[in-house]
Amino acid sequence: MIAHVRQEEAFGCAVACCAMIQGVSYAKARASFGPPGRGFTRDVWQEYLARHGFAVRHLHRIDHLARVEREVWPLSPWADVHLCSVDAGHGMGSHLVVLLRDGTVLDPATDAPRRLADYASVAYMAAVYAIGCGSMRDWAQRTGLIADEVAALEGLTAAWSAFLRLPQDHPDEVGEFRRGLHILQDQVLARPTRRASVELRPTDLPPTPPASPGPDA
């Protein structure tokens, strides 16, 4: 059960959301983030979650594989917990909230539970998965991951932790490594979805009707 955490600063929504997901206080999460300034970008809070054993899968209004807008947006929740970037009155993607599987939104700026429909727009939805935690087996069963897929995710998490312990040789290397790691995580996390997808096989298609005879037949 995720406990609601209020943001204690004007631009502290990402800190509060990560605190909810991790199950810690705002002060403890902020100790790692530092002062929020004008707010934290997605790369910052995603790195924070990665360091604490979470993997993230983003989906946007644009289906980047099909290169078209999704017919339905926002999507129905597909994980136990998500982070959603919403317009809470200050522009597209100006605020971060937590979305639960039942559709409840925990907004760090308010006390009352909300729904995504309460916001002017949703920039993206990001499913958050706990990797390498004590409840890994239960979580894997709920999400449909098989043992080797769990092992792959745990290996990626271990690689990320080991990379962060290395001395930094280039200012861009952490960001580039993180982006590459997210691509690999997305590939693993997408496998249960592909298995669960119902696709028409050629034998399932209705028979093709015979062509109509032409006027000279």
Q: For the chain, how are helix, strand and coil distributed in percent, rounded to 5?
A: 40, 15, 45
Predicted confidence band of residue 212 (pLDDT cuts 50, 70, 90): very low
Give the containing element (helix H, strand E) for 152.
Answer: helix 147-165
Task: Take residue 25 and report the two structure tokens written for it.
Answer: 């206080």
Q: Is 37 helix (H, G, I), strand (E, B) or coil?
A: coil
Residues 118, 105: contact at Cβ < 8 Å? yes
**Where is 46: in which H helix or E strand?**
helix 42-51
Kindly report the number of other CB atoms within 10 A of residue 55's CB atom: 24
Considering only 19-23, 69-73, 145-149, which range has the smallest mean pLDDT?
145-149
Write the CA distances from 120 to 68, 110, 125, 159, integer angstroms.
21, 16, 15, 39
Class of residue 107 by CB neighbours under 10 A (exposed 0-12, middle 13-18, buried 19+): buried
- Distance of alpha carbon 93 from its chain centroid, rounded? 15
| Confidence at residue 207, expressed as pLDDT on a 0 to 100 scale | 53
Mean pLDDT of 87-115: 91
Check if the beta carbon of residue 154 is closer than 8 Å to that of residue 133: no
CB atoms inside a 10 Å sphere around CB 200: 8
For residue 23, the Cα-to-chain-centroid distance in whole angstroms is: 17
Tens digits of per-residue pLDDT, 177-188? 888 887 888 888
Q: Which helix (H) or strand (E) holds 56?
A: strand 54-60
What is the number of other CB atoms lying within 10 angstroms of the CB of residue 53?
17
Distance CA 95, CA 179 (A): 22
What is the per-residue pLDDT across 129-152, written as a single tens digit (0 to 9) for each? 887 554 455 556 666 778 888 788
